[in-house]
Chains A and B, each alone.
Chain A
Amino acid sequence: MSGSADPRDPRGDSGGPGEIAIEARSLHKRYGAVHALRGIDLVVRRGEMFALLGPNGAGKTTLFSILATLLRPSEGEARVLGHDTVRERARVRERIGIVFQEPALEGKLSVRDNLYLMGLFYRLSSRAAKARSEELLHTLGLEEVAEREAQKLSGGQKRRVELARALVASPDLLFLDEATLGLDVDARRQFWGEARRYSQRGGTVFLTTHYMDEAEPADRIALIDHGRILALDTPQALKNRIGGGVLLLATADDARAAAWLRERGFEPEVGARGVLLVVPEPAAVLPEVLAQLPVRTHRAEIHEPSLEDVFLKLTGRALEDGQAAPRARGPSGPGAAQ
């Protein structure tokens, strides 16, 4: 197959097998008695920005590690850029860049040296590695800190250097594992801006996150929980799947409110923020519910379905388990900094 074709080749015939960046077939992963992945199938197309969204412990990092050649599946197989992630690991590695959850820089070396040496690891000539490092320092706005020891950078700067490190060999595919964990809003916005720019130039991005605002701007999202993909679609289609609008009621006794609603033929879910009700026309239902609900309502809210609602509806559990992403007034996800 034409998996080794240059994806930046404009003559690449669209829709052909060469257009597939990642393909996973019935992947399972067991750690002793723990069944971390329970049959994952997915296809990511070239040039796509693909988000794997799920709560902590859902299996995101396990799936990520298998696709990024860091882990062997217990069953099933995966192909990345046309190559098997186990048997042809080296071929895959040549063409991917990875930003890990944990830092992977040599803290005592300067930013410039970190990038230059990584260039050598990716088989660039010394001159090419130097040129590429300078280019990345420039495009990622790291020129001012180029001579600083990596360990002395701020959290946001470190992450941008990690991104530069991952981009040093001009990869066709970028893997980002919870890449903005622990960053403040501005740093997150800046990081996703850079990732988005890479994607707009034709690169494929595969990211994992448990922040729904980070998954939102992706082209497609896979919702994952307990090692299974619950739903895989565009953000809009996922939200449409829920049908209608969302009515959220914060009450004095959410459990009792939910029980009452159930008696009335609704299908409520109790989340961290209150009782969630998905109905075709929330505005038409609200007055009657408020008038008759036997418990006191502190707050009523109507909104378009969010990914959070989709997740809650599919699993009966909240996505971020009470631990919300650092919120800004505006959006701070991958699409925010364009």
Chain B
Amino acid sequence: MRGLIAVILLDLKRLWVDRVRLATSLIQPLLYLFVLGSGLGASSVMGGRGYLHYIFPGVLGLSLLFSSVFAAMLIVFDRQIGFLKAVLVAPVPRVSIALGKVLSGALQALVPATVLLLLVPVLGLGLSPLRFVELIASMWLAALTFSALGVATAARFRSTTVFPIIGNAVLLPLFFLSGALYPLDRAPAWLRALAHADPVAYAVDLMRGAVIGRYAYPPALSVGVLTGFVVVLTWLATRVFAAGENL
């Protein structure tokens, strides 16, 4: 337990002293929402405000996905400079390191997403307290899933040159398949089939359901799928940290 806390505390302290990263993470989601929302909304059949309501959960997803994966990528950086070695050689259970990294990535991603929540009244979403709690809970689950995805990936890499590759080859497809910015119900069947394998799709749908009251997948299924992703990915990351060869 102490090891878990140490992993999280270390990361949060580092976010706190890195004011540039902190400020960027606060500003970036607002850009997403207004630039994407007004730009795409003007040409959308759903009309301005309706579309903003539709993409708000999508933007939450975008922000959570990129922030948590970016936080996880710092593991690769730590490995490159040698700092990770000092952490890995500490007598901390490997599962605590993996879980700590997943939790700290989720927490770091929830900072900007929470800023976005300030827009709930501005956008006139009119959420009941229950819906609001539902939204928060699904944000947590989404953040944990994306963070676990990031940690399980980052744990395997030794060089930061993989960052753009992961960004282009993993994150963008996951995001575009998720239905975050546009509904997939009129998309070709193969695209919709692929979306079934995309955790981001379940996460966004869960958040969107909390906001607009309509789900594409049964919420219980989404919660089950996302929880499964978190458990499996955290286990995979634990295995990498436990390998012990060439720390």
Contact = CB atoms under 8 A, between A and B. Distances in A.
Contacts of B10: 106, 117
Contact of B244 (A72, A106, A125): A72
B83 interface: yes
A86 B86 CA distance: 18
Contact of A118 (B18, B90, B245): B90
B186 interface: no
B91 A94 contact: yes
B238 to A, nearest CB: 14
A93 B246 contact: no
Interface string A74-92: 0000000000001001100
A100 B86 contact: yes
B51 to A, nearest CB: 41
B14 A122 contact: no
Interface in B61-88: 81-83, 85-87
B85 A108 contact: no
Interface stretch (B1-9, B37-45, B156-164): B1-9
Contact of B17 (A71, A100, A109, A118): A109
A121 B17 contact: no
Interface size range of chain A in the complex: 20 to 34
Given A72-B245, A104-B83, A108-B17, A120 B89 contact: no
Contacts of B83: 103-106
B194 interface: no
B89 A70 contact: yes
B137 to A, nearest CB: 29
Contact of B89 (A86, A93, A105, A109): A93
Contact of A106 (B2, B14, B92, B93): B14
Contacts of A105: 83, 86
A219 interface: no
Residue of A72, A98, A106 contacting most chain B CB atoms (<10 Å) = A106
A121 B82 contact: no
A117 B9 contact: yes
Given A117-B9, A123-B2, A108 B91 contact: no
Contact of B245 (A71, A103, A109): A71
B13 A121 contact: no
B90 A122 contact: yes
B6 A120 contact: yes
Nearest to A102: B82
B91 A123 contact: yes
A108 B14 CA distance: 7
A259 to B, nearest CB: 46
A89 B245 CA distance: 12
Interface string B92-106: 110000000000000
Contacts of A69: 89, 244
Contacts of B89: 68-70, 93, 98
A286 to B, nearest CB: 50
A313 interface: no
A102 B86 CA distance: 10
Contact of B82 (A90, A103, A122): A103
A121 B14 contact: no
A120 B5 contact: yes
Interface of B: 2-3, 5-6, 9-10, 13-14, 17-18, 81-83, 85-87, 89-93, 244-247
5 smallest CB-CB distances across A and B, nearest first, come from A120-B6, A102-B82, A104-B86, A121-B90, A94-B91
Given A93-B91, A94-B91, A125-B2, 10 more contacts: A70-B85, A70-B246, A70-B247, A71-B247, A72-B244, A98-B89, A104-B86, A105-B83, A108-B18, A117-B6
29 contacts: A68-B89, A70-B246, A70-B247, A72-B244, A72-B245, A86-B244, A90-B91, A93-B89, A93-B90, A98-B86, A100-B86, A102-B82, A103-B81, A103-B83, A104-B82, A104-B85, A105-B86, A106-B10, A107-B81, A108-B14, A108-B17, A117-B6, A117-B9, A117-B13, A120-B2, A121-B87, A122-B91, A123-B92, A165-B86
